[in-house]
A and B are shown apart, each in its own frame.
Chain A
Amino acid sequence: MHKQRSNEPFVWLLFSAGGVVAALFIPIQLFLFGVAFPLGWLNGPSYDTVRGLVHGPIGRLYLLVLCTLPLFHWAHRFRYTLYDGLQIKHLNELVNTFCYGGAIVGTAIAAYLIWQIP
């Protein structure tokens, strides 16, 4: 009997990689940009400093990884949150399209924006 291949291992790999990126890189940046700089606890970087950090190939690659993999992490987790948490199993197709579709659209937007950095 022919067995249909599942794409679960592939999306799980993206979920897992995104989980690592989110765990390592997001807390410090969220603390600085979201809390410490706006409240004036610390002085934020100037436009030139930020641009200097991200306009080279390494900076752009970093931003691409930072913005794309965590989106697939979100897609996978949020899908199961709706599946297990709210038990809306009858809307599976819609939920999958929203989650993975959202991550793919987000990836495209991120790639476009990062390309545009002066």
Chain B
Amino acid sequence: MATYTEYPPKGYRVRMSTYWWLGKWPYLKFTLREISSVFVAWFVIETLLQINALIGGPAAYTEFQDFFRNPLVIALNVISLFFVVFHTFTWFNLAPKAMAVRMGGKRVPNILISGPNYAAWVVVSAVLAWLLLRG
């Protein structure tokens, strides 16, 4: 008689290596894309620290800018920038696959879906840069 088990019965299963994603570029790309989220979270932490300094007043805010001048923080931010831009490109290139829009029985070309995303990115970046660079 079959007894109840919490997990499905164990058949023969090939144990995959923990490093399965290192062998092929598409797998590595997938994993790098997933890891980009860690750098997204790092940016949020930096932003929260900056808001905290802003609450402390002008002196605290100016003093806090030294944190960003620390060479280790700059190095980390350069790496983070690489990963976040990688996220942006992979995210927009994924959009046509997630939204398969059909018009007149034909699929709308990928570029018509990812294109507006890239245009929005340029506009948003320009507006934010303008706001922050005024003085």
Which A residues are within 8 Å of any B CB, using their own CB? 18-20, 22-35, 37-39, 42-51, 53-54, 63, 66-67, 70-71, 73-74, 76-78, 80-81, 84-87, 106, 109-110, 113-114, 116-118
Q: In terms of DSSP, what is the predominant structure of the interface of chain A? A: helix
Q: How far is the CA of A35 from the CA of B61 in the complex (A)?
A: 17
Task: Count how many pairs of residues, one from A and one from B, have CB atoms less than 8 Å apart in the complex.
Answer: 158
CB pair A80 B81 closer than 8 Å: no
CB pair A85 B31 closer than 8 Å: yes
Q: Given known contacts A26-B84, A67-B44, A80-B34, what 5 new A-B pairs fall within 8 Å (CB)?
A: A23-B117, A27-B125, A32-B133, A45-B133, A78-B34
Min Cβ gap B102→A in Å is 21
| Chain B: interface residue total (CB-CB under 8 A) | 52
- Find chain A residues with CB under 8 A from B81 CB: 27, 30-31, 34-35
* Chain B residue nearest to A49 in the complex (CB): B135
5 A-B residue pairs with Cβ-Cβ distance under 8 Å, sorted by A, are: A23-B91, A44-B132, A47-B54, A71-B44, A77-B36
Return the contact of B84 from the options A18, A22, A38, A106 (Cβ within 8 A).
A22
Query: Does B103 belong to the interface (CB within 8 Å)?
Result: no
CB pair B44 A113 closer than 8 Å: no
